[in-house]
Amino acid sequence: MNSRITGKDRKFIADLLNRLGTIDYIQPGDFPSIDLYMDQVTTFMDNHLVHCKRNEEDKILTKTMINNYAKNDLLPPPEKKKYTKDHLLFMVWIYYFKNLLSIGDVQMIMSPLADYYFGKKGDRNLEDVYSKVYELCKKNKNTYVRDLIKSYEIVHETFDEAAFSDDPAEHEFIIKFCYLCMLGYDMYMKKVAMEKIIDDMRTDLERMEEKAAKDAKAAARAAKREAKEAKEAKAAREAKAAAVRAEKEKK
């Protein structure tokens, strides 16, 4: 850390890093292998994401939330009132995404994920995807922490403490304010990037649906044409047979 950052600033960074150190994805091996009822699900999530709470009274997950997730097609429905491991994996992703994105955007992300992986077995399954995401986030966390420290150092260098010797409180405020501005801009840029990716996903889906609709219409037209041709061929055969019968009757 920059040698000019001392005392209260070092404590501020240390407290910030300690807070971030408590936040983590639920480890892949911590998910139960048995299906859970609703009350068991909320207890599991509360116990494993307790450090994500800002305030003690905050709720990680409630029955109403889970029901709303299913109602809004974010979460596949339970099986005989029980939730599988795949349900729990989905809830973790929904928990993080809903704090950043609209419900419509979260739905756009989770719907194809469900189509591709929910309840699927074999090499490409949801648990494997979660494990890989967990490892990627774990590796990236150290980079993010270093960036946080670097950003604070940049702000501190921009507002030299000596220039605020007459009012240390003002110096402390302007440092934190500008630090918030930098973090906020970083978050905004990443949010815009996420929304752009989601918009691209939505466009791809619309194109696929449009193509599927066109293919369905083409198939319907082809079937109609074939049915018409078959009907005409049948009519022609019947007419020919009738003509043959009529000719025989004349004889």
What is the secondary structure of 47-94 as a DSSP string? HHSGGG-SSTT--S--HHHHHHHHHTTSSPPPBTTBB-HHHHHHHHHH
Q: What is the token pair recorded at 208?
A: 């696929």
pLDDT value at residue 22: 81
Residue 152 · residue 182 · CB < 8 Å: no
Among residues 2, 18, 81, 82, the alpha carbon closest in space to that of 51 is found at 18
| 249 SS3 class | helix
> What was the pLDDT predicted at 5?
61
The pLDDT of residue 3: 47
Furthest CA-CA distance within the chain: 128
Average confidence (pLDDT) over 55-61: 86
Specify whether the CB–CB gap between 104 and 95 falls below 8 A: no
Minimal CA–CA distance to 94: which of 179, 40, 26? Answer: 26
Q: Summarize pLDDT for 84-128 with one digit per residue, the tens.
A: 999 999 999 999 999 899 999 999 999 999 999 999 988 889 999
pLDDT (average), residues 9-25? 84
Which residue matches tokens 């500008």?
178
Cβ proximity of 73 and 30 under 8 Å: no
75 contact partners, CB below 8 Å, separation of at least 6: 66, 69, 87, 90, 91, 94, 110
What is the average per-residue pLDDT within 22-36?
A: 90
Predicted confidence (pLDDT) per residue in 139-194, tens digit: 888 888 889 989 998 998 888 777 787 888 898 899 999 999 999 999 999 999 99
Q: Kindly report whether the global pTM for this prediction surpasses the value 0.75.
A: yes
Band (pLDDT 50/70/90 cuts) for residue 251 is: low
Cα–Cα distance, 209 to 90 (Å, whole number): 24
Confidence tier at 249 by pLDDT (50, 70, 90): confident
Residues linked to residue 179 through DSSP beta bridges, in sequence order: none
Asked if 35 contacts 82 with a C-beta cutoff of 8 angstroms, the reply is yes
pLDDT > 90? residue 66: yes
Q: Is the dihedral of CA 180, 185, 187, 188 positive or negative?
A: positive
- Whether residue 1 is predicted with pLDDT greater than 70 in this model: the reply is no
Q: What is the mean pLDDT of residues 236-240?
A: 84
- Calculate the average pLDDT of the chain: 89
Task: Identify the pLDDT of residue 107.
Answer: 94
Return the pLDDT at 14. Answer: 87
pLDDT value at position 10? 82
Radius of gyration of the chain (CA): 31
Q: What residue type is 178 in one-letter code?
A: C
